[in-house]
Amino acid sequence: MVRTSLDPTVAWDRYRSEFPIFQSKTYFNTCSLGALSTRVTAAVRQFTDLWEANGAAAWYGPWLGEIERLRARVASLLGASADEIALFPSITAALSAVASAFDGVRRPKIVLSDLEFPTTVYQWRAKESRGITVEMVRSPDTLSVPPERYAHAVDDRTQLLVASHVYFTSGVIQDITALAHIAHDRGAYCLIDAYQATGQLPTDVHAAGVDFLVTGGLKWLLGGPGVAYLYVRREVAQSLQPTAVGWFAHRNQFAFDIQHFEYADGARRFEGGTPAVAAIYAGRAGADLVAEIGLSQIRRRQVELVSLIVDEARRRGLHPRVPRRVEDLAGIVTIPRADPAGVVKALAQRNIIVDFRPGIVRLSPYFYNTPEECERIVAGIAQLETEGLA
């Protein structure tokens, strides 16, 4: 069995102690919702304190400042500049803004895979009655999609190649640099859904060459629901004119000029209306925590925890669904079960929180989990099998 060589340069136990849920639960469901830290609770409290004390004056100073701090923080985690980041309440809203920049006439085709999260597929499916065509590339193994399959599908009628950076039902990491090349070779744009990647994987959007990337606070950025991020490469943003816009997309928002609409520079031209400021405070505190630990340190720990789970699951005959190289896996390990919902329920009765999708149980460790918990959770699933419960 692999024993972890926990990175001694990071005070993992101290970080774990910032998450009260571990006082009562074994939590392995970050791919659904990152655990709540005391810092995020304090940040939301700061938001309500400012509101209580200042009323609308909280906007012109602290709240607008917090929006810009969050934008800069997200940019730093993605290797982007702050002006390349736009803020939204959800991935869906961000995708709708991107979609509104295209007319679907000369390039009506969207290429995506059958492993995408529904929200990124529905965006285009709902437009099929208006001339958009969706070409769905099939995964050969339900784990990942070889980039060559996209190369066959993308052509000179393709507007966008849309793909996950980490697949939500397998945890496998996609080669987004290869996908950006494939899209650009045929004059298409590349849009990456990095919701399951940002926070747990070091990412450099400029080096990868992608045009758009959507991600958010809910999962590995520990900020909870209500805030999502859109990266748009600077030159791409300057060349597009999205139509699903609000007053935050205006070059001079506080001029209140309703006779003319002038786009803001950069990604902000994709933004809509008043953001959910509580979620902005939570999102900033969560993202700051991730940045403080460091993406490389988190990734190293993820590889250790994931390897431990995979080895232990194999040892116990649970047949985890993994790619050939464990390094191609991010912090989601899936184990096929006949009754995954039953497993989740039985484990929850033992205060172990995991998740399921059709046919599989999903375990998603993060830096706050321990090697002992990884072993315990796999043992728990194996035990259910012996008890005839799974």
Residues near ligand PLP (CB under 6 A) are: 90-92, 117, 119-120, 164, 168, 193, 195-196, 216, 228
Distance CA 226, CA 228 (A): 7
Residue closer to ligand PLP (CB basis): 34 or 62: 34
Distance of CA 345 to the CA centre of its chain: 26
Reference 348, options 338, 336, 340, 359; nearest CA is: 340
DSSP, collapsed to helix, strand or coil, labels residue 88 as strand
Distance CA 39, CA 226 (A): 17
Residue closer to ligand PLP (CB basis): 108 or 216: 216
Residue closer to ligand PLP (CB basis): 47 or 168: 168
In the complex, least distance from residue 319 CB atom to ligand PLP, rounded to whole angstroms: 24
In the complex, least distance from residue 361 CB atom to ligand PLP, rounded to whole angstroms: 16
In the complex, least distance from residue 94 CB atom to ligand PLP, rounded to whole angstroms: 8
Residue closer to ligand PLP (CB basis): 31 or 151: 31
Burial of 13 from C-beta contacts in 10 A (0-12 / 13-18 / 19+): exposed
Can you spell out the DSSP letters for 181-197? Answer: HHHHHTT-EEEEE-TTT
In the complex, least distance from residue 99 CB atom to ligand PLP, rounded to whole angstroms: 13
Burial of 198 from C-beta contacts in 10 A (0-12 / 13-18 / 19+): buried
Distance CA 105, CA 26 (A): 51
Distance CA 76, CA 73 (A): 5
For 27, the enclosing helix (H) or strand (E) is strand 26-27
Residue closer to ligand PLP (CB basis): 114 or 185: 114
In the complex, least distance from residue 219 CB atom to ligand PLP, rounded to whole angstroms: 7
Which amino acid is residue 116, in one-letter code? E
Virtual CA dihedral for 353, 359, 365, 371, nearest 10 degrees? 90
In the complex, least distance from residue 125 CB atom to ligand PLP, rounded to whole angstroms: 14
Residue closer to ligand PLP (CB basis): 217 or 371: 217
Residue closer to ligand PLP (CB basis): 228 or 330: 228
Phi first, then psi: what are they for 143, rounded to 5°? -100, -45
Residue closer to ligand PLP (CB basis): 132 or 191: 191
Helix runs in 79-170, H state only:
91-99, 118-125, 147-153
Angle at alpha carbon of residue 43, lines to 41 and 44, rounded to 5°: 65
Phi first, then psi: what are they for 137, rounded to 5°? -80, 135
Residue closer to ligand PLP (CB basis): 318 or 353: 353
In the complex, least distance from residue 193 CB atom to ligand PLP, rounded to whole angstroms: 5
